[in-house]
Structure formats: C-alpha cells, structure tokens
Structure 1
Amino acid sequence: MSGLPGLAGTDHIGFTVPDMEEATRFFVDVIGCDLVFSIGPFQSDDDWMQVQLGVDPRAILRCLRMFRCKNGSNFELFEFELDGASKVPPKNSDVGGNHLGFYVEDIDAAVAYLKSHGLTVQGEVVTMQEGPSKRLSWVYFLSPWGMQLELVSYQTGLQVLDEKPGALWSPRE
C-alpha cells in the first residue's frame, strides 16, 4: 500500500484574510457557514512562527477561526499582523493561488442571491458539455476582500461518476 499511513481524508483547508471580523460576517451571514471556534492572538519572540507556520518570525497571529459549511470540509481563517505583508489575494494563475468552491442545488438562484448582496460574480454560469466534468455548472465570485470563490452544481451528476462511481466526494451524499 502506498500513501500517507493512516490517511482518513481531508480535515480542513486554511486561508489568510485581511480582516477577520469582515470575513466572519461574510461567511456566516452571507454564505451561511457556522463559526465553530476562535483562538488568538499569538506571537513568539523566537523563530516558532517561522518554523511551525512558515510565516515571518515577526508575524503576529491576531486570530484563527474554524468554520463549517453544511456537509463539507472544515476551513480555517487566519488574520496576521505583519508590516509589509501582501494585502492582495493571489490570482488562480499565481503559485499558491486558490479558491473555495461551494456546491449549491440551484446555481441561478445562488448567483441572484450573491448579486443582491452586492458581490462581484465573474462572468456567467458555464455548464460543461463534454468530458469528465460534463453537466457541471460553475461560476466564480469574489468575497468583499477579493478572495476567489466558486459556485458549482451538478444536479444530474458528473460524467466521471457515471464511469467511476464514488471516485469524487460530493456534499450531496
């Protein structure tokens, strides 16, 4: 057997945000996630932050919060304080670029909801017509601070799952 011994699955993903209170309001009040816990602040006078977290040793972890969104992976948000740190989220084309995708049953209703909250929806909903992602509808949108997010929907399933049942985890299950 190959792979990480004892691997059970994905536990969480983490993102750094510029303003924890704004991010919490967005994910709880607009998206509908639950705030599970909050810790911090934390700082270290030695190189602990660099060794353990891979950040500048002078960084202050102002707050860490863990969230849960319905039937999906947990995610944590970090807010750091560090003079000179980039305040611009990476693009998907940048190394380290990322996005968080949310499955919705009615993507058109979800897009209208996001727009009613003044959020930027990037382009139009695209429905894949061929290949392994056939029947997948998707569209990107931005958080108030510019984090890339995605809505996805595949009410009639994905082509790849017709060929390989259970190959991908789905929040619908």
Structure 2
Amino acid sequence: MKVYGMQHIGFTVPDLGQAVEFFRSMFGAVECLSTGLIDVDDDFMRRRLGVPGQCRIEDIKVLRVGNGTNLELFQYSGDAGADEAPKRNSQPGGFHLAFQVEDCNAAADRLRKAGVEVLDGPTYVDAGAMEGLTWCYLKTPWGQFLEIVSMDGPLGAERNGQPAQWSPVTGR
C-alpha cells in the first residue's frame, strides 16, 4: 500500500454552523464541500459507519485551513449521547487538533480578545526533544480541545538527528 499522507481528519460537532463559523473566523478556514442530508437506511448507518441505525448525517462540511489536512465536520441526529461533552485528552479516544501559526503568543492574544477560552500559556519549551516549540491549548465553543504552535526553527529532536516532522510552513 502506498500512502501519500493524511487527507482529512473527521469529527462530529453538535452545531455545524457554529463550528464552521468558528474555524472560519478564528483560523481562516474555507468551506470546500457540503453534502446536506445523507439519506440512507439504518443498515447502512450500522454497517458502514458503525453508529446506531437510527442516526442520520444531517450534513458534512469539509474545510481547508491553511496548508494542511482538511477538516471533515459532521452533524448527526438521532444519537441519545449527542449532548455528552467531548472526551478529555487524558481519555482513550480524546484528541486535539494543532494549528501551526506564525507567532503563538500573538495568536493566543487574538483568540482571547475574540472570547475564545484559551488555557494557560503559551509555553516555550527550552530543552529536550521539543526544544524550540511554543504551544498553547484552547477550547472550541463546543468544548473540543485545539492547540496552536509556533517554532523558532527545527525542534530539539531534529537537531539531534531524528527525522524532521512535516510542516505546513515548508510543505515537507
């Protein structure tokens, strides 16, 4: 199998309009695709998507944010657990998305001024494998964790001979 790279990350949000507006206004996202209602039967939902049969996809929107992996956002109906908060990073299945920005400190200030819940930081890593990384966590209006990062050059691991991570800045 030849793998080219990651094409998209998909996740479910409680309010698709709110999510699209958040990524558009805070990160400059552009909507590339919208499906509208996916009209299929219960068996399709169970067998092809692994969700309860009564669930339906109300809409899917694919967003492009800068030079990186696409975001595929789903809004479902019919799931009794839909009001549960997203998992924390410490729980299996918990995750976050990280966006590389030019200046993490300036980006965190901008997000805070826009009313986004930004956790403590940004934090600069001055030693070890992540030396040279500035990072900060934040939360979307629906509680999903995101991260913003900036780097002042290759990280410590790369300077010590490890393979370089892919970068949306260089495209390699």
TM-score, with normalisation over the residues of structure 2?
Answer: 0.92
Does the residue aligned with 1:61 lie in a helix, a strand or coil? strand
Size of the aligned set, in residue pairs, is 169
Which stretches of structure 1, 4 residues or more, deviate above 4 A after TM superposition? none
2: CA distance, partners of 1:114 / 1:61: 30
Does the residue aligned with 1:123 lie in a helix, a strand or coil? coil
- Among 13, 34, 37, the residue aligned to 2:9: 13
Partner of 1:120: 117
- Among 134, 137, 152, the residue aligned to 1:137: 134
Q: Is residue 36 from structure 1 mapped to residue 32 from structure 2 by the alignment?
A: yes
CA shift for structure 1 position 51: 1.3
Q: Is residue 45 from structure 1 mapped to residue 41 from structure 2 by the alignment?
A: yes
1:99, 1:148 within 8 Å by CA — same for their partners in 2? yes
- Among 43, 53, 60, the residue aligned to 1:57: 53
Amino-acid identity (%) = 37
Please list every run of 5 or more consecutive structure 1 residues that lacks an aligned counterpart in the other structure.
Answer: none
Does the residue aligned with 2:51 lie in a helix, a strand or coil? coil
2:136, 2:147 within 8 Å by CA — same for their partners in 1? yes
Residues 4-33 of structure 1 show CA distances to partners (whole Å, capped at 9, x for unaligned) of x11111111111100000011111122211
CA shift for structure 1 position 167: 2.7
TM-score, with normalisation over the residues of structure 1?
Answer: 0.92
Q: Is residue 94 from structure 1 mapped to residue 94 from structure 2 by the alignment?
A: no
Partner of 1:111: 108
Once superposed, what is the RMSD of the aligned Cα atoms? Answer: 1.4
2: CA distance, partners of 1:46 / 1:112: 46
Residues 33-61 of structure 1 show CA distances to partners (whole Å, capped at 9, x for unaligned) of 11101002114333111211111111010
1:43, 1:59 within 8 Å by CA — same for their partners in 2? no
Does the residue aligned with 2:121 lie in a helix, a strand or coil? strand
Residues 132-166 of structure 1 show CA distances to partners (whole Å, capped at 9, x for unaligned) of 11111101001111110000111222112223475
Specify whether residues 9 and 164 from structure 1 end up closer, same or farther in structure 2 by C-alpha distance, changes over 3 A only: farther
